[in-house]
Amino acid sequence: MPSEPLEAEFIHPPVFSPEQEEEFRVAGQERSELHATARSSEHTLADLERSYSRQGIHIVQFEKGKGEDPREWSRLSKWYVTLTTAFLCTAAALGSSIITGDMKGPVRDLHTTQEIVNLTVTCFVIGFGIGPLFFAPLSEVSGRRLPYCFSIFFFFIFTLPSALAKNAATLVIGRQIAGLAASAPICNVGGSVADIWTIEERGLPMATFSFAIFLGPVLGPLVGGWIGEKAGWRWIYWVLFIFSGLCFALTLVMPETLATTLLRKKAERLRRETGDDKYRALEELESPPFKEMMKTALSRPLVMLFTEPILAFMTIYLSFVYSILYLLFFAFPIAFEEVRGFGMGMTGVTFVSIMIGITTAMLVMPFQEKIYAHYTKFGTYPEARLFPMMVGAIILPSALFVFAFTGGYSHVHWIGPCVSGFMFGFALILLYISGNSYIVDCYSDYAASAIAAKTLVRSLIGAMVPLYVTQMFHNMGFQYAGLLLALVGVAIAPIPYIFYKFGASVRARSARATQTPALHAEAIFEAIDLSLWQYLPFGPFDSARHFVEELWEGRMLRRSGETLFVVQDKTKPDANGEPALAGTIGYVNASAEDLLAEIGCIIIAPKFQRTHVASNAVGLLMQYAFNLPEQGGVGCRRVQWFANSLNVGSIRLAEKMGFVQEGTLRWHRVLESSKAIGGNGKPGRKGHPREGLLGRDSTLLATYWDTWENGLRDKVDRIMAK
């Protein structure tokens, strides 16, 4: 391998489709492995505006300073929306558990069984899981306000049949429909918060939203217990009916927050006022049909659930945690009413222990944000979200052990199971907020689908709890039933630790997961010698942060279709046994329309030059670009490479891999005046403001699909096998 740096340059932005962008990933091989660390966004808004402007279409935007953009609203207005939507969340979650305050009254008055009455919780929670599959895409089309209004209205209306029920069927059916309707706030409030708050401002509003979600279920037995004891079970439903009616009234005065909906309405207003049809919101031109959105909303979550290991295992874990929450709604009455003789009201008060644990954990979580900020100073690093979950994974089974050995014994003070309730509430927040944040960070582009999958499974598993929990504790005995749950908690406790260690590697093999420049930036920055930047139009960088901002965020993420990889050498493990980081390589200027790929950004650390690393890395990208889709590739017809004409090593590597020179592009790039080695040695244009910058000539090399099929594939395989 020549000592000169190996590189190939960025040129014009590609026209890769999002689907094709997703396909441009390179699988690892035995000797060398590539990990994607950056993938660009789609065409910028400016590009789209220019494109539509040429067609005589004016893209409508918010006017700054006029309060049109929800993110420019006053803090008072933002907090009004935040607290209102959080209140809706509390009401919906309260509706799932408030009826557990008196589950024996309906059995007596409706002449039915306890199992049938328990279905009132099961059906409501199933609705929580199914509803988001419809309400989430609906909110993206119609805006946030309309789903809130309709869903809370039906929640309000269908609580009435349960309050008036003369038989168990009416009670259960009313609860099923009410649960479906009540799911809209649960799945849409996060979007409402993101609509009005910037990322930097979002911490406290999201914490408020999270607290509201968990406050509702725990508050339910407390309120329902006293109402059931003093006024009877029907009044629990009447109170819920009145409460949901108040929530419906609030939705009527809520403002719309979704930017795309507001822009669409602005475009419609401008068309009416001017009579000119040229005014359009981008969403009107670019959004897929609602039918397509619904198809994606229904299918993608399930596909991801069965193909994404991180999502699957985190869903299992969080579903177990959620099921324990609903299990306690039935286990606490056994521990306090049956074993200790408490009334329904006082049993409800014991849930305050869980509430105190939740509140305490919410006060601790801001410290996690500081830790997360430290670990993400070089870019995205989802695994930094897992620290609270790793602590909660220890506390959860401990809480269940305490509950198992204190709850079922009348001679043990009532404070024992309450301590377990506090521990569970504390662990609940650590596990749930951390786990949810990890899923969102791992699947940022597909977060809605990932959360929908998790919510569906979580709700289905949580909904099953009322069907067996009472029998389990009665038949197995309190101690052994609690012990079984604690052992399950121990069995799944390693999950966050495993993903903290191996999560980045799992994501690197995923078609949808977020990649992590932060994971490699510092090591690559330290490994690359300053001389390597002499031939390149970017660099050198004075810090790893600068490296990420300039190369990854400043270039790769801003150009459609570009993908940056880290090159790892598996034959030289580092001190931790991980493959050694050897440099970077990427696809640039790739075009699905023209079946073209360009290999670029090849930067190999000095100690890995004159080794197999660079040729293997290039070979992997060539294989993936040229191989047909049924062979696991993309099926390009042409792969090209731009090299600095003075960089003999780069040209030699390209020719070794079968590329042929097609010509030289004079004055192709601009270099800083300090990069004399890579400049063409000719003076700049006199009188130009950038006269002092050097010029760079580039050699264009390429190879083609027919060359690949007629022997180049075998040649590359032989090179990589050495």
pLDDT computed for residue 521 by the predictor: 66
- Give the C-alpha separation, 71 to 285, whole Å: 23
Query: Would 176 be classed as within a structural domain?
Result: yes
**19 or 514: which leads in pLDDT:** 514
Please count the structural domains in the chain: 3
CATH for 692: 3.40.630.30
Q: Are residues 400 and 467 in the same domain?
A: yes
Q: How many helices (H) does the chain have, and how many strands (E)?
A: 28, 9
Mean pLDDT along residues 708-715:
93
Query: Would 48 be classed as within a structural domain?
Result: no
Query: What's the whole-number average pLDDT of the chain?
Result: 80
The domain of 551 spans 520-721
Mean pLDDT along residues 279-290:
69
Q: How many other CB atoms are found less than 10 A from the CB of residue 305? A: 18
Q: Are residues 449 and 358 in the same domain?
A: yes
Candidates 449, 460, 442; CA nearest to 299 is 449
| H-state helical runs in 232-377 | 233-252, 259-274, 282-286, 290-307, 309-333, 344-349, 352-375
pLDDT computed for residue 709 by the predictor: 92
Chain CA centroid to CA 627, Å: 31
Rg (CA), the chain: 30
Instruction: Using the 3D structure, point to which of 237, 257, 277 is the last residue of a domain.
Output: 257
Query: Would 605 be classed as within a structural domain?
Result: yes
Mean pLDDT along residues 365-389:
75
Q: Are residues 499 and 534 in the same domain?
A: no
In terms of average pLDDT, the best of 117-126, 135-144, 272-281, 288-297 is 117-126
pLDDT computed for residue 657 by the predictor: 92
Q: Are residues 507 and 527 in the same domain?
A: no
Q: Are residues 505 and 527 in the same domain?
A: no
Instruction: Using the 3D structure, point to which of 468, 491, 513 is the last residue of a domain.
Output: 513
Mean pLDDT along residues 168-196:
85
pLDDT computed for residue 3 by the predictor: 32
Q: Are residues 304 and 369 in the same domain?
A: yes
Query: Would 330 be classed as within a structural domain?
Result: yes
Which two structure tokens, joined as six digits, stand for 164? 């008036």
Residue carrying structure tokens 């009322």? 466
Q: Are residues 695 and 630 in the same domain?
A: yes
Beta bridge partners of 573: 579
Mean pLDDT along residues 547-552:
66
Query: Would 67 be classed as within a structural domain?
Result: no
Q: Are residues 400 and 491 in the same domain?
A: yes
% of the chain residues with pLDDT over 90: 21
Q: Are residues 492 and 569 in the same domain?
A: no
Q: Are residues 613 and 548 in the same domain?
A: yes
Query: Would 12 be classed as within a structural domain?
Result: no
Mean pLDDT along residues 29-57:
48
3-class SS at 476? helix
Give yes or no for residue 495 having a pLDDT over 80.
yes
- Give the C-alpha separation, 464 to 466, whole Å: 6
Query: Would 16 be classed as within a structural domain?
Result: no
Query: Would 52 be classed as within a structural domain?
Result: no
CATH for 352: 1.20.1250.20
3-class SS at 639? strand
pLDDT digits (tens, 9 = 90+) for 644-700: 888 888 899 999 999 999 999 888 887 777 777 777 778 878 877 777 788 888 899
Candidates 618, 628, 566; CA nearest to 595 is 628
Instruction: Using the 3D structure, point to which of 513, 532, 557 is the last residue of a domain.
Output: 513
For the entire predicted model, the pTM comes to 0.65
Q: Are residues 595 and 492 in the same domain?
A: no
Q: Are residues 163 and 109 in the same domain?
A: yes
